[in-house]
Amino acid sequence: MLQNLGFAQVVELEDMEKVPISDGYICALPFLGEHADVNIRSKAAWLINIQGRTIVSAADSSNLEAELYDKIKSHIGRIDILFIGMECTGGPMRWLYGPLLTQPISKQANESRRFNGSGFASAAKIVDILNPEQVFVYALGMEPWFAYFMGISYNDDDAQMLESQQLVDKCLSEGKVAERLFGRKKMRLNALKSQAGSGDAS
């Protein structure tokens, strides 16, 4: 489909496979969460390593088994920045997959099998294991333009706000840089001299 849309080079990566880029690589990491308990294999979290600096973009990963992140950490080493979504409530199964189902599902199954990512406890465990220097909560859909197609609006006492703030507060108390992102943010990482000389990566 992507090739037919005009993308000449399409590469499919399995878990822990890498594709080289200038001064580094991109690696597909296992993604658990936001699946409504359906066997979806078309998602990944992403590690970007450029000039020795490592950024992990984990989307709405959910820590269903901490050992997974222990094993990931043993392979990828140090992490500078972790981006993690914290949509801890998630829409019901029919919200996205309803038109694809061949038979009706019960109300109980629809409500219990949701598109949720990490709450505070599971996200905090990911942070504890990967131990990044900076942590940013992103992809909550708080920006006003999302309301037109996602129907999302948050109050200060919604679970997503409370639990993501808990994570930010935990990280700040441990001396990490942490923030719940909104709109746009710029950041700069200097290249590691041991791997890339004296240059900078931004």
186 lies in some domain: no
pLDDT above 90: residue 46: yes
What is the number of structural domains in the chain? 1
The pairing of strands 53-57 and 81-84 is parallel
Asked if residue 201 belongs to a domain, the reply is no
24-29 β-sheet, strand order: 18-21, 24-29, 45-50, 53-57, 81-84, 134-137, 177-180
Tokens 């006003």 locate to 144
Average pLDDT score, the chain: 85
Domain residues for the domain of 72 are 18-181
Q: How confident is the model at residue 102 (pLDDT cuts 50, 70, 90)?
A: confident
- The reply to whether 197 falls in a domain is no
pLDDT value at position 200?
44
Is residue 1 domain-resident? no
Structural domain includes residue 190? no
Residue 79, in any domain of the structure: yes
Q: Quick check: pTM over 0.85?
A: no
* Per-residue model confidence as pLDDT tens digits over 151-170: 677 778 888 889 899 999 99
Residue that wins the pLDDT comparison between 100 and 127: 127
